[in-house]
Amino acid sequence: MGMYAEPGDDYRGVTDLLGCPPESLNWNLLGSEDADREWHDLDAWVTWLKVTFGLPPSIVPPYWHRHDELVWELSALHTHWLSCYHESASPSAPIAWMRDFADARHRLRDWVAICGTRLDRDRPTRQTVWPGEEAVELGGEISIADRRSDFEEVVRADVLRRKAAEAVARRSVLG
């Protein structure tokens, strides 16, 4: 079970689940098992955040997980929230989080506008090709039918990619 309750479930506190304040998270360095856990924890928290604060898709769209810029922003906000609501945090830390959340909402609106994802459709974030670089075909717009199954598919692909990289690294070390 994740830390963030599904509608109707009891919420579990940060301290109960973490014991100690969280550390920063670098998605580029996560192993496959850690990535799987972090993806699901972040997804549960983003769902909690969306529901708790009534956030529209212009701030948190359903396919946020397909856009690195949104994953990094939401992940940073999540880690900050975990730190500010841990029992070891200053009593004033939650108000600092709320102030930073207001700033993050502005950035999230910008990211959503740039990447082009919406409530009912999504497209890959457009990439600017610099002189001398080859253009990359990113694909076109798709309709959003089932956010949950798409999330699981994206996580599964990411975990498999990481496992393959881990296997290559193990072979090179064992040589």
pLDDT tens, residue by residue, 98-152: 999 999 999 999 999 999 899 999 999 988 899 999 988 888 888 999 999 999 9
pLDDT band, residue 16 (cuts 50/70/90): low
State residue 139's pLDDT score.
83
Asked whether residue 101 is assigned to any structural domain, the reply reads yes
Q: Is 102 within the bounds of a domain?
A: yes
Q: Is residue 111 part of a domain?
A: yes
* Residue 97 pLDDT level (bands cut at 50, 70, 90): very high
Q: Which of 65, 67, 16, 69 minimizes the C-alpha distance to 45?
A: 65
Domain presence at residue 29:
no
Domain encompassing residue 55: 39-126+140-174
Token code pair at residue 156? 């599964």
| Residue 121 dihedral angles phi and psi, to the nearest 5° | -150, 160
**In this structure, what DSSP letter does residue 27 have?**
G
Q: For residue 99, is it within any domain?
A: yes
Is 118 domain-assigned?
yes
Give the count of domains, the chain: 1
* Distance from C-alpha of 76 to C-alpha of 60, rounded to nearest angstrom: 14
Quick check: is 67 in a domain? yes
pLDDT digits (tens, 9 = 90+) for 31-51: 999 999 999 999 999 999 999
CA 133/CA 136 separation, integer angstroms: 9
In a domain, 90, yes or no: yes
When pLDDT is cut at 50, 70 and 90, the band that residue 85 belongs to is confident
Q: 62: which 2 tokens?
A: 């359903």
